[in-house]
Structure 1
């Protein structure tokens, strides 16, 4: 039985985690260092364990078998979080005592598995499955928007859109849906967004008018990145970072810490690692013979691609601020473990064995 060992995917993941811990240590150095850095180190170790378990222990068919359960669990937790007390103006986390859990992270993963399952089914109502996918996506979008979490709301819609296109089953319907979305975007912008959300989008177009408000974080991040120059100021030597000029520098704007202290070379090095990761995910996606795997892996690719592009873009002032973390670099336990879980699934499809599906019963 021939087996090809995939080493590049876990190597890139671990490299990103180490890179993230180094930058996080600098971002949280001082009063927050012991608490935040220590917790993230634990999350990194747990994430590695999740990756190994998912990649080598869990059978591929397991994810199909729990697709509806994942959707149900996501709906319940997304609904429950709306009744909890707000944290910094939003209801996004469930306090479990030793840690906090973010239901929207589970919802993104659940949607990927669910869409992969229904889009890969044969002999069933084609259009019925399409509208079932639209319904579940709409429920997730509505519940996450109410938290409110505009960034994750957008990601959920992108997951649905990209995976539906990749399925290649609903081309005509997608033309109509694309036109409908284009018509709804200005309506949602004018009447569906909260004032601060609308200001964030407008500040992207006219940052000088919102310099002391919605555009403040972005402007400070740009200044920090620009001050790093080619080689950076050095670890723990960033003035903007050390004096706290960039808010949320350990989460949404951690890329600014990297840019300031590691400079252009450090920033480009991180982006190259992400490009290698995305290339590897897409290569495995194209080579898999499983329709379920192909669709699921395309959804995972979309999630990683959007997170990287949006986070780096908003730090550079190229995209609106939506509160999207940088995979394996930004502080956060829920996101880190879900990212590792998804890469574990990708890794499980990278293994080449003779008649793998027949022997292990992927269906």
Structure 2
């Protein structure tokens, strides 16, 4: 068998993304309308249009160019992470964004993309040396992101590295040792590296009623909003919690609660199906991808999507602590939309490059 770049296009993958974008815009409009802040809605429309352009741009870029930019992209992301600690804008006690001319950019979003690409390249070549290099490549951005601080994105980086390591073919003994060490490091991380507000989020997750007036207020309101939607929802643009803007950060962290209230269990299930199509379509086709590099890139991207979906929906229904992780294509956010669309472009590229064709005899 041989591999050919036959330009086969995965229409189902793109259709799922566009569907989620449209559904996200409908919900974003509904939660911003009562606040008279529709400027964010129009910004997101532009980001989504630009994101679709990025998907096709990445799809048509040559494979050789993509591999050439891996190291520069990683180095740029590290420089930006260092720079944001000095030049970034402080919001709510954290310094995570560059802001200029009314546009915000979050370098940690770029960092997760660059980490996936450079780990795919490093872990393709199996050796103890490359395994140790992968740890260094992980630790540098994680330590910088913890300084912002942003625990959720730091954990995401570790999750990406862990899943890619599992699928890289590294020795089981090494993997067992690493994961054992990570579990042992949890108490050290909690007592010596987490900020007080991050500890309070974890404690409020374990005992939400005790922290109702503070750290767990958002979660309890979101849970009540989700539960009020029932099977079919309370109606688009007429749902009381959405119209009353009862849940803080409705447009970002808690957009799923707006979906659940307005469209109920059925609407929530439709959203999950949209993400499920993206995830399972890639997992189904990945065995036919061109080489280990593209397989690992796809694994890293899919693990990112799974983490975002599980964590965001989990914190909306109270089974996960609040970390500020957005819901892809549904939460407001320009940087995250751009990065997720870039990732979709890479998945399309992997699909096009990885079609197996039989030799003609």
TM-score tier, shorter chain, comes to over 0.9
Q: 2:62 aligns with which of 53, 56, 59?
A: 59
Secondary structure in 1 matching 2:324: coil
TM-score calculated relative to the size of structure 1: 0.93
Q: 1:354 deviation in Å?
A: 7.6
Deviations 1:2-24 (A, max 9, x none): 66442110000000000100010
Give the alignment of 1:308-347 within 5 angstroms: 308-347=309-348
In the other structure, the counterpart of 1:278 is 279
C-alpha deviation, 1:355, in angstroms: 8.0
Ranges in structure 2 where 5+ consecutive residues have no aligned partner: none
Between the aligned partners of 1:4 and 1:244, the Cα distance in structure 2 is 45
Aligned to 1:19: 23
Q: Which residue of 2 aligns with 1:216?
A: 217
Conserved 8 A contact 2:9-2:352: yes
CA 1:196–1:354 in structure 2 vs 1: closer, same or farther (change >3 Å)? Answer: closer
> Which residue number corresponds to residue 76 of structure 1?
79
Deviation at 1:119, TM superposition (A): 1.3
Residues 1:267 and 2:271 aligned together = no
Equivalent residue number for residue 237 of structure 1:
238
Which residue in the other structure is 2:101 paired with? 97
In the TM superposition, residue 352 of structure 1 has moved relative to its aligned partner by 6.0
- Residue 31 of structure 1: CA displacement? 4.2
**Which residues of 2 match residues 118-137 of structure 1 at below 5 A?**
118-121=122-125, 126-137=127-138
Hey, what does 1:117 align to over in structure 2?
Answer: 121
Q: What secondary structure is seen at the aligned counterpart in 2 of 1:323?
A: coil
4-13 vs 246-255, greater mean Cα deviation: 4-13
TM-score (norm 2): 0.94
Structure 1 pair 207–30 and aligned structure 2 pair: CA distance change class (3 A):
closer
Query: Aligned residue for 2:110?
Result: 106
Please state how far the C-alpha of 1:194 moved relative to its aligned partner: 1.2
Partner of 1:195: 196
Structure 1 32/341 Cα, relative in aligned 2: closer, same or farther at 3 Å?
farther
Matches within 5 A, 1:137-216: 137-216=138-217
Contact 1:71 1:114 in 2 (8 A): yes
CA distance in 1, matches of 2:204, 2:32: 28
Deviations 1:227-266 (A, max 9, x none): 1111111111121122121000000000011111111111
**2:240, 2:125 → 1: CA distance?**
55
Structure 1 gap segments, 5+ residues each: 357-363
Kindly tell me the number of residue pairs found equivalent between the two proteins: 352
Hey, what's the Cα distance between the residues in 1 that align with 2:160 and 2:129? 19
Moved more, 158-167 or 31-40: 31-40
**Quick one: structure 1 residues 274 and 354, their matched pair in 2 at CA, closer, same or farther if it must change by over 3 Å?**
closer
The 2-side partners of 1:102 and 1:146 are apart by 14
Conserved? CA contact 2:111–2:141, under 8 Å? yes
Counterpart-to-counterpart distance in 2, 1:354 and 1:112: 22
Distance 2:34 2:316 in 1: 23
| Structure 1 contact 50–340 (Cα < 8 Å) conserved | yes
**Structure 1 position 33, deviation (Å):** 4.1
